[in-house]
Amino acid sequence: MKRLEKVIIGLIIGFTFPLLFGLLSVITWFYLDKSESRVLIYLTTGIVLGLIIDFKFLQNWIKHRFDLPLWFISGIYIFYNICTYGFFMGFPVFNILMGLIAGYYFGNRIISNKIQSQLQSKQINQVSLFTGLIMTLICISSGIIGLTDKTIGENIQGMLGLDFEITKTMI
């Protein structure tokens, strides 16, 4: 299990920087260039920059995965929540899975660092509060989209393949 855990942690952290810099480079292209012939150059540059960061730091991050700074872990958590939110087009149900991953990680972090039982419950509460706060922000943004978008009912109906009309009251 320890080997599988290292692989999964490695994949989660390893995909972060190529994905982040790839997205940032495409955003840069969109706002500064918009030439369709150069979009792949921007994307490739961002991904390669992320891979260089992985090449330099990833082994150490995996090795010290339970000693990484909380701001680093929180940043990765927020980034993947944003990606999940965008991938599922503002449908926040799948963001719950991110909380499960965070709980699993912090449970292993508590065990690995042999944190005293008095501090364990405090840390568990802090992680729960943080993930709950992020989920609250995601749900609020979904609610705003749901209440202001005129075609949200049709979008949900099409996404879920429903044979009945989704009304504003249902949303």
The pLDDT of residue 82 is 94
Residue 84 contacts residue 28 (beta carbons within 8 Å): no
pLDDT in tens, 13-38: 999 999 999 999 999 999 998 888 89
| Lookup: tokens for 171 | 């949303």
pLDDT in tens, 93-105: 889 999 999 999 9
Residue 164 DSSP label: S
Q: What are the extents of the domains in the chain?
A: 1-65, 68-171
The pLDDT of residue 14 is 93
The span from the CA of 142 to the CA of 120, in Å, is 33
**What is the DSSP track for 49-92?**
HHHHHHHHHHHHHHHTTTSS-HHHHHHHHHHHHHHHHHHTTT-G
The pLDDT of residue 1 is 60
pLDDT in tens, 124-142: 999 999 999 999 999 999 8
pLDDT in tens, 148-167: 888 888 888 887 888 888 88
The pLDDT of residue 53 is 95
Residue 143 DSSP label: H
Q: Residue 67's closest CA among 110, 102, 104?
A: 110
The span from the CA of 97 to the CA of 48, in Å, is 29
pLDDT in tens, 47-76: 999 999 999 999 999 999 999 999 999 999
CB burial of residue 128 (10 Å; 0-12, 13-18, 19+): middle
Integer Rg of the chain from CA: 20
Helix (H) or strand (E) holding 25: helix 2-32
Q: Residue 10's closest CA among 65, 52, 83, 68?
A: 65
The pLDDT of residue 148 is 86
Helix (H, G, I), strand (E, B) or coil at 1: coil
